[in-house]
C-alpha cells in the first residue's frame, strides 16, 4: 500500500478536488440552485467550525488538568519541604495527596471530600497543605519525615550526647 501512495502528489490531488468542486458549483448555479449551494457551503463551514471548537475544548480541558496538577503538586511539595518531609518521600506524599482529594480551586490547592471543601484550623478557611501534612499525613506516616536531630539526638540510631555503655562496664553502677 505504501508504494501505491508513494508517488501521489498531494498538491495535485488538492487542485483536482478544487476543480471538481468548482465544476459542481457551476452546474448548480447554471441550474438556478444558488440557495441550495449557499446552504451547503454554510453547513460545511459550520460543521468545520464545530469540529474545530470541539477540538479546542478538548485541548483546553487537557491544559486545565495539567495546570491543576501543577498547582496542587507545587503547593503540596512546598508544604512538605517546610514541614520536614524527607526528599525521597515526596513522591509518596504527592500520591497520598491525590488519593486524599487535593485539587485546585482557582489558584489555590484545596482538599475536597465528597465534593465539599475540608476546613482547617482557621474558621471558614480551607485546610492548608501544611495543615494536612502535619496534622494528618505525618501523624499516620511519621516515617515520611526527616528524623529528629534536636535535644542531643544524632538522627541515626537514637541516643543523646551521652554515648553508649557496655553491659560489662555497668557492674560498678549502684542502683
What does the pLDDT look like over 96-122, one tens digit per residue?
999 999 999 888 999 999 989 999 998
- Model confidence band, residue 79 (pLDDT cutoffs 50, 70, 90): very high
Of 145 and 154, more confident: 145
- The pLDDT of 52-69, averaged and rounded, is 94
- Model confidence band, residue 159 (pLDDT cutoffs 50, 70, 90): very low
Give the pLDDT of residue 6. Answer: 77
User: Considering only CA atoms, which of 106, 150, 105 is closest in space to residue 118?
Assistant: 105
What is this structure's pTM?
A: 0.59
Alpha carbons 113 and 127: distance in angstroms, whole number: 12
- The pLDDT of 127-143, averaged and rounded, is 95
Give 13-23 pLDDT, tens digit per residue: 899 999 999 99
Alpha carbons 34 and 158: distance in angstroms, whole number: 90
Give the DSSP letter string of 17-72.
Answer: HHHHHHHHHHHHHHTT-HHHHHHHHHHHHHHHHHHHHHHHHHHHHHHHHHHHHHHH
Query: Contact at 8 Å (CB) between 168 and 147?
Result: no
Of 153 and 146, more confident: 146
Give the pLDDT of residue 52. Answer: 96
Amino acid at each position: 500500500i505504501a508504494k501505491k501512495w508513494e508517488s501521489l502528489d498531494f498538491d495535485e490531488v488538492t487542485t483536482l478536488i478544487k476543480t471538481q468542486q468548482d465544476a459542481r458549483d457551476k452546474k448548480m448555479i447554471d441550474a438556478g440552485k444558488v440557495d441550495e449551494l449557499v446552504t451547503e457551503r454554510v453547513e460545511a463551514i459550520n460543521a468545520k467550525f464545530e469540529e474545530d471548537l470541539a477540538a479546542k475544548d478538548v485541548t483546553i480541558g487537557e491544559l486545565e488538568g495539567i495546570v491543576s496538577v501543577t498547582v496542587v503538586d507545587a503547593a503540596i511539595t512546598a508544604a512538605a519541604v517546610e514541614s520536614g518531609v524527607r526528599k525521597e518521600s515526596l513522591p509518596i506524599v504527592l500520591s497520598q495527596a491525590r488519593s486524599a482529594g487535593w485539587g485546585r480551586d482557582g489558584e489555590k490547592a484545596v482538599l475536597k471530600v465528597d465534593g465539599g471543601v475540608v476546613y482547617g484550623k482557621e474558621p471558614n478557611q480551607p485546610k492548608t497543605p501544611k495543615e494536612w501534612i502535619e496534622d494528618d499525613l505525618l501523624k499516620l506516616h511519621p516515617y515520611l519525615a526527616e528524623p529528629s536531630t534536636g535535644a542531643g539526638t544524632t538522627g541515626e540510631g537514637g541516643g543523646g550526647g551521652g554515648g553508649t555503655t557496655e553491659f560489662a562496664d555497668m557492674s560498678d553502677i549502684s542502683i
